[in-house]
Structure 1
Amino acid sequence: MVVAALLAAGCSTTRVSGPAPVEDRGFSRSETVAAKPGAENAGKPGYYTVKAGDTVYRIALDNGQNWRDIAAWNNLANPSSIEIGQVLRVAPPAAPAAPAAPVVAAAPVSSGGVVGRPLSETSQPAPSPAPAPAPAAAPTPAPAPAQAATPAGDELNFVWPANGPIVAQFDEATNKGVGIGGRIGDPVVAAADGRVVYAGAGLRGYGNLIILKHNNTYLTAYAHNQALLVREDQAVKQGQKIAEMGSSDADRVKLHFEVRRLGKPVDPLGHLPKR
């Protein structure tokens, strides 16, 4: 009986511990998933959300900007460290508004020493002329729809960057420029005055590439070169030799030439002189 009682007491107090239950603390998704840098600006004009395969260099080309400017606007110490979902500023920050002109209080008008005199009994005030009716206001014409006009002075007269034949036509979906054939080492020249905003091989599919910024509207790109003869931030003149034609990252010797208007590729043949 004593043994049975002890066994019963042991069964009533001994218990095998199992896994603790998961406690639902009610965290929201925003608390458990770290927000990407700049996420508060997603979808706003002048901002871009990084996608798979993007680089700062390509984002700059597609938005008509210098990659160094984009790095500076977004405080990127290392341009290669961007991540998918990060939101980058791709347009210059707005200039601060000019201070309002101070309001000057008007000085009271002096009477100038004019003395009032009473009217005589025979004096009568002259009748005031009846006010002329106001002319009917002309109807205001409806404003014309806004168009992306080229800023004054930004249109350019380009020259051909190479002398060979056209070997690839422009296609906005598959070929964002034209291919100009030639031989290894043929000269590649600047199509217009500008400044080098990129010189290197960091954009996949372009090989050794030079990008010139001509003004706030136009960029030109020169790809697949054998040798680059200019450096970043260098000013160049129209017709100046900037590279030698090659076949880097291409299936043949050619110059791939792009014209970008406000970051969007346009057909270079519409901007080059007729041959």
Structure 2
Amino acid sequence: MKTALFTVFISILVLSSCSKHKPAPVSDAYGNNKRAQSHIRHSSQKKYNKKFVTVKKGDTLYSIGFRNEIDYKTLAAINNIKSPYRIFPGQRIKLSGKVAQTSSQKKPQTTNNKKPLSTTPNVAQQTTKTPVKQPIEQPIKQPISNPPNNKPNNTTSTTTKPVVYQEPPLPTSNSQWIWPIKGKVIKTFLASDVSRKGIDIAAALNQSVLASNSGTVVYSGDGLRGYGELIIIKHENNLLSAYAHNSKRLVKEGETVKQGQVIAKSGTNPSGTALLHFEIRKNGQPVNPLGYLPK
């Protein structure tokens, strides 16, 4: 009787221990693998998107370069796009890569073709050993050739005169910048902060926005996220100026504007604050506008 009770007691213990044992979290491990795979896919897609950009309606090469902080000339060279840098919706623009130099590859081929010519002068040197004394008489006539050499110098001095006339207009367009709007700076530039690529100037709604410097409008639209109604003007010395959060744009792409010309009416940022966001780019990179604007 005791043995029977003992066996029953042991069987109860075995059954209770089996019921308390939990199975391995197979579903959790599988779920973690799924998350890891999805994370890898998203990261690979992000890297791919950084290499190429698909042109949308309203995009220009300048706006794409502005958005990605790349000089428009660099984008044009990478994608073999020539002036006036026209792009079309659906076109894929590479953001990085090497520039193919076809012209430089052809030049060394022409130099290689001239190698056999170097063998013929060796034969000529053997035949012209005796007439080596003849070149001595030729330098005597050099003073006669000097007067004609002076004449082209006079002509070159005359040709440089129009170049002098072309240079003065350049500094006038690069004169001191002016403030694009009257108001107090409420947010300054900070290179280490992505959200502070320019300055914010407090303004009244529909206040006149002026071109800070003379140039050509290369973008006028609302296709850049976070900038609202945006105008970008190209200046000399590879400089760009940007005027964001306008209520109304008054200039179109390709239009030439003068310093102080009214180009837009000020609006509000996404939070509803009336202001003008102003940026200056040098070689595609943001720079501090306060270094250009008068104090």
Name the TM-score, length of structure 2 as normaliser: 0.50
Q: Which residue of 1 aligns with 2:180?
A: 161
Q: Which residue of 1 aligns with 2:39?
A: none
Residues 64 and 159 of structure 1: CA distance in aligned 2, closer, same or farther (over 3 Å): farther
Q: Mind listing any 5+ residue stretches in structure 1 that lack a counterpart? A: 1-35, 43-47, 116-151
Q: Distance in 1 between matches of 2:226 and 2:253?
A: 20
Q: Does structure 1 residue 213 correspond to structure 2 residue 234?
A: yes
Which amino acid counterpart does residue 242 of structure 1 have in structure 2?
I
**Structure 1 vs Structure 2 CA RMSD:** 4.4
> Which of the numbers 225, 242, 258 marks the counterpart of 2:246?
225
Q: Between Structure 1 and Structure 2, which shows a larger proportion of helix residues?
A: 2
> Which of the numbers 53, 61, 65 marks the counterpart of 1:60?
65
SS at 2:281's partner residue? Answer: strand
Q: Distance in 2 between matches of 1:94 and 1:216?
A: 25
Q: Does structure 1 residue 176 correspond to structure 2 residue 181?
A: no
Q: CA deviation at 1:67?
A: 11
Q: Distance in 1 between matches of 2:250 and 2:75?
A: 20
Which amino acid counterpart does residue 64 of structure 1 have in structure 2?
D
Retained in 2: the 8 A contact 1:65–1:90? Answer: no
Q: Does structure 1 residue 88 correspond to structure 2 residue 94?
A: yes
Retained in 2: the 8 A contact 1:159–1:191? Answer: yes
Residues 114 and 226 of structure 1: CA distance in aligned 2, closer, same or farther (over 3 Å): closer
Residues 92 and 250 of structure 1: CA distance in aligned 2, closer, same or farther (over 3 Å): farther
Q: Distance in 2 between matches of 1:203 and 1:113?
A: 74
Q: Deviating runs (4+, > 4 A) in structure 1? A: 54-58, 66-76, 89-95, 97-115, 152-156
Retained in 2: the 8 A contact 1:64–1:218? Answer: no
Q: Which residue of 2 aligns with 1:78?
A: 89
Give the % identical residues: 32
Q: Distance in 2 between matches of 1:114 and 1:176?
A: 73
Name the TM-score, length of structure 1 as normaliser: 0.53
Q: Mind listing any 5+ residue stretches in structure 2 that lack a counterpart? A: 1-43, 135-169
SS at 1:161's partner residue? Answer: coil
Q: Distance in 2 between matches of 1:259 and 1:246?
A: 19
Q: Distance in 1 between matches of 2:229 and 2:78?
A: 21
Which amino acid counterpart does residue 65 of structure 1 have in structure 2?
Y
Which amino acid counterpart does residue 169 of structure 1 have in structure 2?
T
Retained in 2: the 8 A contact 1:246–1:255? Answer: yes
Which amino acid counterpart does residue 178 of structure 2 have in structure 1?
V
Aligned pairs for 1:1-275 (under 5 A) are 49-50=51-52, 59-61=64-66, 62-65=69-72, 73=80, 77-79=88-90, 88-89=94-95, 96-97=103-104, 157-172=176-191, 173=193, 174-215=195-236, 217-247=238-268, 249-274=270-295
SS at 1:246's partner residue? Answer: strand
Q: CA deviation at 1:217?
A: 2.4
